[in-house]
Amino acid sequence: MNLYTEYSSDRQQFIIRVKGKFDFSMVQEFRQSYSELGDEPVTVVVDFRETEYIDSAALGMLLNMRKSLSGNPRTIQLINCRPEIRKILDISRFDKLFQID
């Protein structure tokens, strides 16, 4: 399994950690990871600390997550991006849609 989820100790953040390659092979697993959040007003954090690679399918998954969670007032943060991943996010103008740290 290359995807791990947890809540922060204060339960204010729901953290999704992606390890290795974030690509089409993770579609179902990624969707499932946030599907049961319900109406909890938590910040969703996608941690790319251990992510080596993302492709266009990963960008689509992030957009689908944003759309799926848009009914609730939530912030979505993309954190710990390696320079090559940050470059892809910047070129795709994801900084306009997500908080990138």
- For residue 1, what pLDDT is reported? 59
Residue with tokens 């989820």, as numbered in its chain: 5
Q: pLDDT above 90 covers what percent of the chain?
A: 79
Each residue's pLDDT, cut to its tens digit, for the chain (101 residues) gives 589 999 999 988 999 999 999 999 999 999 999 988 877 778 999 999 999 999 999 999 999 999 988 776 678 999 999 999 999 999 999 999 999 98
The whole domain housing 71 covers: 3-100
- For residue 39, what pLDDT is reported? 74
Number of domains in the chain: 1
Query: Which CATH number covers residue 12?
Result: 3.30.750.24
CA distances from 58 to 38, 62, 63, 96 (A): 23, 6, 9, 17
Residue among 35, 44, 32, 37 nearest 76 (CA) = 44
